[in-house]
Each structure stands twice: as structure tokens, then as C-alpha cells.
Structure 1
């Protein structure tokens, strides 16, 4: 593959919300975005989500991982067959555990096996090197957010918020090089606690459109208690595991379902508001991506509680469902070129770092 010319890359993302796998094609040289290509989505069935949830918190070598790895590989290969072949794949795998304070992170899934079976080179294991060198290993999408702001020719800072299982916030000034124009961190729990509560209480995987939360009343005492968590006083950059905050659903267990959903939603928004205060300059806009933007109650509360215009990223011509998959396509191109994928102000690594490794189809397993 050419080292400096744009190439077509397919990026995959299976996030902490455990809803399924996103795949997106991107034409890029690892610096600029030339073209957005087709995308696809492979949902996990209820049974598959249960299998994935059963191994959350696991580390390599623990029992029960092999059938889950088979499921992850199968889902990604199914998506490969739905998209035009590219020169490179960016494979994130499924995060099961993330503990950067103890220099470890675990994304289940073998890029070497995917390369062998898909017949395409695969860039993968994006987080391990960053964590091994004392970084947080997350978030990794900020350098792609910088590219998005360049693509949209932004002449002032902007914030980009991804609301998946965990919330990730990037402050970006694309007029500056990434070493100077980025600050990024996880804001706190986003969809994961609400989704877990909904599945356990109602049998539904999420609060569709935020309808249940909108019908309830927020317990402000619980939200205030949540904001006392020491994570919110830590300086950025910083990152979270999906379950870093423990059982938030337990805090609302005594509330009726509508009030519980409203309170869990308010927690997610309060975490974003706390994070917004850490940005070096308050931007005029915050672009919202990820599944949380489809929750009208989350969007309403964000608009009420943030000091900037809140914009669904779809409304500026980008695909809010595929930002993270596109990000891992972009990161793969950067790995192929030896360009940094994380920075001191995004993961707290001591210097710009090119994480990830590349497996070729002919590599022997």
C-alpha cells in the first residue's frame, strides 16, 4: 500500500454499549479525509449480547473467552463481505477491561486471524502500547476529530462528544497541529448504565428516543451524590472502564422506572457538563455523535445544561453512527504511515505515540 497517497480503509468498531459492530470505509492518507465511503452495521442478537456481557471485566487467559472471540471474528467477517474490499482494515476488537492505572487493557479479538480470513492487512491492538508507556490508552478518536474539523474547514475551536457506553469529549482547534490543538477525555458513564437498567427492568435494550426518561422526574440528590465521584475532580486527559462507576442502576433501584431512567439520563448529562468546564476555551458548538444523540431527552438536557450550541453531527453532513468506525479506519492509515495516534493531551502519554500493529494475510498464526 502506498505510504503517502490516500488509500481505502475499512474501520470496525464494537463499543461498550454492546449493540453490534459498525463498519465504515474511508479514503485517507492518515492526515486528511479525501472521501467517505459506504458503511454497514451488524447488530448483536439478544443472545449474543448476553454472551458478550458474561465476559465483561475479563482479562486474557481467563475462562470463557474463546467462544466470544469466535463470535467477534464471525461478526466482523460478515461485515467484510458486505463492503467493497480496501487496502487495509482497522480492527478495534471488543473492550472487556480497561485499567490504565495498572498498565493494562484488554480488547478481545485477533487482528492476525481477521487478516488471515479476510485476506487484507489489518491494523489492530491500538491501545496496548499507549497504556504500557503510562498513557490512558483512551480515547483514541480525537486525532480523527481533528481531521473532521479540518474536513469541515473549522476556523474556530469545536467540541465533539461521542455518547456510547461511555462519553468521550474532544476539544479541537484544527488550525493548530494535533500536538497543540487537542484535549480529550472520557466524561463519564453515558448510555451503558441506562441500557443495562432498561434491559434488566423492561427487557428493552435501551430507552427508545428517551421516552421513558422524559416521562419521569430526576432525583437531584442522587445526581449530586454521583457528581461527588473523585473522577470528576481529576485533570484531563483521563479515561474510564465501562464499569468504573460500579452499579449506578443500584442507586436508582428504589425509584419507579420512569424516575430511574430520568435520573440515569441526568447523570450522563451532568458528567458531560462537568467535563465541558475542563476545556481550555469554551467553543461555540458541540457536535454530538454516537447512539446517545438519538435519545431526545439526552439532547434536550444537553442543550439546557451546556454553554454552547448542541448539534446532532448528522445535521452538518456527517454520519453520527459511524464516526468511531471511521476513526479506526483513519487510525489504521496512520499506523501504516507511522504517524502518531495518541498525544499527551489525549491519553496522557508522555510523547506523541504511534500505537497499533499490522498483521498481513500471509502471517502464520
Structure 2
């Protein structure tokens, strides 16, 4: 077991999550300290301005500098980590076209942090024909096994629903011998999650999010807009599948004529309707849906999920896990996995033809390279 620091800045672009995890890349030995660093208004604005951009485009270098500087500052507060997993900042994701782009140079971070860094987790999966996302599902399998072992969950299939900027769901069977084993995992992006809600609040009210879901709870969802949204061909596409943050860009104009409260309520209904639509693809209805990410702190979202889904819905803390830090922990666990050459994705999580070990390893002296996939 080694101590790994995982760091994540998601599509909500609110800041950097950092979390320690003790692992061998298969089992979870324990969880350690965590921290969050919020982006300043100027940093957040610069990152948002670079959305949809690719290497060399205007604004990308500034976004990369912000990502590296903020993550290096966080790493300095965790001197006991022997390894760092660094996701970088996703600016564009087009696996069927130009690929995937996470801004931030892990080799530079390794020099600044003076420790090995595993980074660029998604590119190899895309190169081999996968979607490059979601990448947390194999970690969800490990979390389910840990929770069963701790007595927090019964030994039966469960689903993890991550509600960040984009939503994704992982169905896992904790009894499977490995996350890449047949029947162990199925994962896919469900649709837009917090990003449209946060963008609405930022655009209209200059707020970063709907605190406690108060605005959405005061409104009434426009069922016609939600129904039209759910007719999008995305929902009929068989998983695995992944989304770019702005793939449903027409949702914002659709709610523009509505009041602030009704627009927020409509976006919540679209989020939960997208999750419910995804249940048709699950191997079986899970005993429980464990919600992680910022969405679980929005009572309007949680109430609507309980209404729309055919099973129990709980925050992931019900399984003894930290919903704020799960993705950061995931990239720490994945970093340990990459160091061992173990698969980080597979056919039922990203659609890659065979289990794939992604990620680049950079050392403080500048040595780096792709770690080969296990045969």
C-alpha cells in the first residue's frame, strides 16, 4: 500500500479537490486528509473562457498555468504523499473527433511538487477507440467492495451517481473479482447535471450555484421543455457513452423565457429525467443509488431523484464515503493503478475495445512516458 494524493478540478470549475488515499491500486486500505481550494473569480472566468478550446488556442496557456499553480499549491500541503494523481482541467472532449483535452502539464507539476505525477489519464483510452470517460467507475467498484467490507452496504449491485458539471452513473457488482471482469461494471454519462444550473445562476444572478436548491424549490418545471430535451438522440444511444460539458447547449436558450425559479426547476427536472432515462441500460435495478458530487447537496435535486428513480436514493455518505472527495480519491487510486500497469478503463465503462491502462508518469527529474497496458 502507498499513500497517494489525488487531485481533481471538474467541469463545474469551482476549485480543486485534493484527497489522500492508501491503496495498492486494487484494494482501498484507508482514506486520509482532504482539502478544497476555491478558484478566485478571475481564475474561474479564465477557465470558463477557455472552454471548448484545444492546445494552441487563445486562453489555453493561461488556463493551464492556473491549473498547475493551483494544484502545486495544494500538493505542498500534503508532503506525506509519495505519488500524485493529477487529472488536469478538461476544456474540450470530442472522442469521436479531435480527442480529449485536459489542460495542465503533469511533468511541470512533478518538478514543482518534487514527486512523481500520473496524469493525462484519458488520452490513451481515446487513442485505442474508447470514449475516454467516465474514468471513476473502476474506483467505484473498489469503493463498493470497501463499503461491503466495512458493513456499510450489503453484497449486492449498487449504483454510484456522480452529479458534477455533467452526470455519470456506474452500476457495479462488488462480488466481481476485478473491475475489468465481465459483469463487474457498466458506466456512462447520463446528461448535463450542475453545469446548466450553475451557468444560469452565474448569468442571471451572479451566483456560483443554487445554494440548498432554494431557487429550484420555489419554481415549477416546464414539462414541455423537459420532454423535448429527453427526445434528444443521446438518450437512445447505447452505452458506454460520454458527453462534453456543452453538448446540450440548446438547453439554456430553451429556459431563457422562464422566470429564474422556473428555469432552475426545469433544469433540475432535466437532470433527473436524464438519469431516469439511463436506467433502461442498467443490467438490473440497483438496490441503492449513491449520489456523489455537488448535486447531492441540492435538496431539490435529491427530492426529484427520489421521485423519478425506481429504487432507494441516498447520498454516498450513507456508504461511509466522502461525496465531495470521491473523484479526487479516484484519481489517486487510478494513479497507483497506472504505476502497476493495471487497467483503468474497459469496454463497459468507456467502450475501449479491451481493458486499457491510460496515464503518463512524470518524475521530478523530467523522465516520463506511457506505462504499458497489462497484457
TM-score range, shorter chain: over 0.9
Distance across 2 between alignment mates of 1:188 and 1:326:
23
Structure 1 residues 331 and 364 mapped into 2: Cα distance closer, same or farther (>3 Å)? closer
SS in 1 for 2:85: strand
User: Counterpart in 1 of 2:23?
Assistant: 28
Distance across 1 between alignment mates of 2:8 and 2:352:
23
Distance across 2 between alignment mates of 1:18 and 1:145:
22
SS in 1 for 2:198: helix
Q: TM-score, normalised by structure 1?
A: 0.97
User: Counterpart in 2 of 1:289?
Assistant: 292
Selected match of 1:121 from 109, 116, 119: 116
The answer for unaligned runs of 5 or more in structure 1 is 1-5
User: Counterpart in 2 of 1:172?
Assistant: 172
Q: Higher mean Cα deviation, 45-54 or 116-125?
A: 45-54
Distance across 2 between alignment mates of 1:119 and 1:197:
40
Q: Higher mean Cα deviation, 175-184 or 126-135?
A: 175-184
Distance across 2 between alignment mates of 1:278 and 1:208:
32
Shift of 1:40: 0.6
Q: Contact 1:195/1:205 (CA < 8 Å) preserved in 2?
A: yes
Shift of 1:82: 1.9
Shift of 1:233: 0.2
Shift of 1:301: 0.2
Selected match of 2:84 from 89, 100, 115: 89
User: Counterpart in 2 of 1:111?
Assistant: 106
Q: Contact 1:194/1:249 (CA < 8 Å) preserved in 2?
A: no
User: Counterpart in 1 of 2:12?
Assistant: 17
Aligned: 1:160 with 2:155: no
SS in 1 for 2:323: coil
Shift of 1:237: 0.6
Shift of 1:364: 6.3
Distance across 1 between alignment mates of 2:49 and 2:96:
24
| Structure 1 residues 164-214: Cα deviation after superposition (integer angstroms, max 9, x where no partner) | 000010000011132221000000000000100010001111111110000
Aligned: 1:265 with 2:268: yes
Shift of 1:247: 3.6
SS in 1 for 2:37: strand
Aligned: 1:225 with 2:228: yes
Aligned: 1:338 with 2:341: yes
| Structure 1 residues 316-336: Cα deviation after superposition (integer angstroms, max 9, x where no partner) | 321100000000000000000
Q: Contact 2:13/2:44 (CA < 8 Å) preserved in 1?
A: yes
User: Counterpart in 2 of 1:349?
Assistant: 352
Distance across 1 between alignment mates of 2:190 and 2:288:
17
The answer for unaligned runs of 5 or more in structure 2 is 149-153, 369-375
| Structure 1 residues 232-260: Cα deviation after superposition (integer angstroms, max 9, x where no partner) | 00001100000011142211000011100
Distance across 1 between alignment mates of 2:122 and 2:248:
21
Distance across 2 between alignment mates of 1:47 and 1:264:
26
Aligned: 1:199 with 2:202: yes
Distance across 1 between alignment mates of 2:264 and 2:249:
17
User: Counterpart in 2 of 1:249?
Assistant: 252
Q: For 1:300-315, list aligned pairs within 5 A.
A: 300-315=303-318
Structure 1 residues 147 and 364 mapped into 2: Cα distance closer, same or farther (>3 Å)? closer
Displacement over 3 Å in runs of 4+: none
Distance across 1 between alignment mates of 2:96 and 2:367:
33
Q: Contact 1:103/1:131 (CA < 8 Å) preserved in 2?
A: no
Distance across 2 between alignment mates of 1:35 and 1:90:
17
Q: Higher mean Cα deviation, 77-86 or 238-247?
A: 77-86
Q: Contact 1:342/1:349 (CA < 8 Å) preserved in 2?
A: yes
Q: Higher mean Cα deviation, 8-17 or 84-93?
A: 84-93
SS in 1 for 2:281: coil
How many residue pairs get aligned? The number is 360
Distance across 2 between alignment mates of 1:249 and 1:197:
8
Q: TM-score, normalised by structure 2?
A: 0.94
